[in-house]
Amino acid sequence: MPYLEPTRTAQSSYLTGKIKQSLELQSVLDTAVAEVRTFLKSDRVKIYQFDSDGNGKVVAESINGDRFPSLKGLHFSVVSQKLR
């Protein structure tokens, strides 16, 4: 496997710089998902926020083009069962 550390370091520094451009949380999250999706060359990246019960909400999302519907703002509930 080729040595990739300088490239990863440069990409990490670039991502950190982009995130630091804003102090608004939503802007930071939106920038993070967009840059991570580009870095990973993936179709979609999401950030979830979970409550103490394990229920989640998509708080940031980046989608490559319009191939998929957005899930941003959707809530996901956890159904818990007690073990006997």
pLDDT by 10-residue block (mean), the chain, 84 residues: 62 72 85 91 95 93 92 85 44
Other CB atoms within 10 Å distance of the CB of residue 32: 17
| Number of domains within the chain | 1
| Domain harbouring 22, CATH code | 3.30.450.40
pLDDT of residue 12: 72
Whether 81 is covered by a domain: the verdict is no
Whether 31 is covered by a domain: the verdict is yes
Whether 18 is covered by a domain: the verdict is yes
pLDDT of residue 3: 53
Spatial CA neighbour of 15 closest among 34, 41, 1: 34
Whether 71 is covered by a domain: the verdict is yes
Domain ranges, residue 32? 5-76
Three-state SS sequence of the chain? CCCCHHHHHHHHHHHHHHHHCCCCHHHHHHHHHHHHHHHHCCCEEEEEEECCCCCEEEEEEEECCCCCCCCCCCEECCCCCCCC
Whether 56 is covered by a domain: the verdict is yes
Whether 83 is covered by a domain: the verdict is no
Global confidence as pTM: 0.68
Whether 69 is covered by a domain: the verdict is yes
